[in-house]
Amino acid sequence: MGKIVLKSVRKAFGEVDVIPGLDLTIEDGEFVVFVGPSGCGKSTLLRLIAGLEDLTSGTMHIDAREVTSAPPAQRGLAMVFQSYALYPHMSVRKNIAFPLKMAGASPEEQEKKVTAAAKVLNLTNYLDRRPGQLSGGQRQRVAIGRAIVREPSAFLFDEPLSNLDAALRVTMRQEITELHQSLKTTMIYVTHDQVEAMTMADKIVVLNAGRIEQVGSPMELYHKPANTFVAGFIGSPKMNLIGGALAAAEGADQIGIRPEHLGIVTEGGWEGTVGLSEHLGSDTFLKVTTGQAGVLTVRAPGEVMLRHGDKVRLAPMPGKLHRFGKDGVAL
């Protein structure tokens, strides 16, 4: 079991309130992603859950057990770091078995659990190698294997893929998602990469300056962002935000339209001139300077034959406009 409940959790470093006060419930078996800009407190929140930092105030429970002051080893959680933290002089087998050995498991039990973890992680053929003889992705899998054998009630991942190249990140992201599907154990995953958040999470927690801006499924956050911060953070390229008369006409302080929800039309809409055009084959990204709506980013499917200096008309697709009021809160 791995339900984690944080109540009025606050963390200050000296005078600075990094997490001013936060409530969060993570259900058993959920894949929860903490996302937010650099310095928003994602790692601090994860480290508080792990017990690597003390709470300044508030409480934390894992299932029915209060663990507010429990040391990390008594929480039954396993943390996987971006730096792998493998022992270079030990084989993969010994690295994975290490926590079991420390806990006093018999050699037979160690072998059984290491064999099972290696199978899940496709590491069976690498058990006699040392970490230095492995690729970055394989090393990351060893680090995960060392967590799996402990059979934790939750896995905590702190930006585990940030040392890997772009292609390997995609593969590992899928592997971790599949691992979650087979183990069904609670996973908490910290990233500043909103694509990782969108593709992996059951539930995303968007943090900003130590506060929760919104908690929801990826599609809830995409379709119903609670405010302009979430609207700007989730989705790539960013949502276009427009103020002034166009927003006022919609009864809003700002209106938002995602780049993929701006259609190229032959009449009506907002007239503009193409600045930058990026042709990816699958999509075309345009930066269009309009009179009424300012500079807009457009993501059009396929190859759109528009270049720098071309005139174009843009219109929001029906039902895709977001409205935001005072302080950027969704209306």
Ligand X SMILES: Nc1ncnc2c1ncn2[C@@H]1O[C@H](COP(=O)(O)OP(=O)(O)OP(=O)(O)O)[C@@H](O)[C@H]1O
Please enumerate in sequence order all residues whose Cβ is within 8 A of that of 215, keeping only pairs 6 or more positions apart, or say none: 24, 203, 204, 205, 206
Contact flag: residue 292 with ligand X (CB under 6 A): no
Three-class DSSP category at 137: helix
Shortest reach from residue 203's CB to ligand X, in Å: 18
Q: Find the shortest distance in angstroms from Cβ 16 to ligand X.
A: 6
What's the rounded Cα separation, in Å, for the pair 190 and 169?
14
Q: Is 282 in the site for ligand X (CB under 6 A)?
A: no
Instruction: Answer yes or no: are the C-beta atoms of 321 and 293 closer than 8 Å.
Output: no
Binding residue for ligand X (CB under 6 A) from 12, 25, 43, 199? 43
- The CA distance from 161 to 181, in Å, is 19
d(CA 211, CA 72): 24
Q: Between 48 and 286, whose beta carbon lies closer to ligand X?
A: 48
Closest separation between CB of residue 196 and ligand X, Å? 12
Query: Which of 23, 27, 39, 329 is the binder for ligand X (CB under 6 A)?
Result: 39
Stretch that binds ligand X, among 37-45, 68-76, 117-125, 139-147 (CB under 6 A): 37-45
Q: Which of 247, 261, 249 is nearest to 325 (CA)?
A: 247
Cα torsion angle, 234, 240, 245, 250, sign: negative
The window from 40-48, 129-137, 252-260, 281-289 that contacts ligand X (CB under 6 A) reads 40-48
Q: Please identify which residue in 2, 41, 51, 131 interacts with ligand X, judged by CB under 6 A.
A: 41
Q: Give me the least distance between CB of 13 and ligand X, in Å please.
A: 3
By CB under 6 A, name the binding residues for ligand X: 13, 18, 36, 38-44, 192
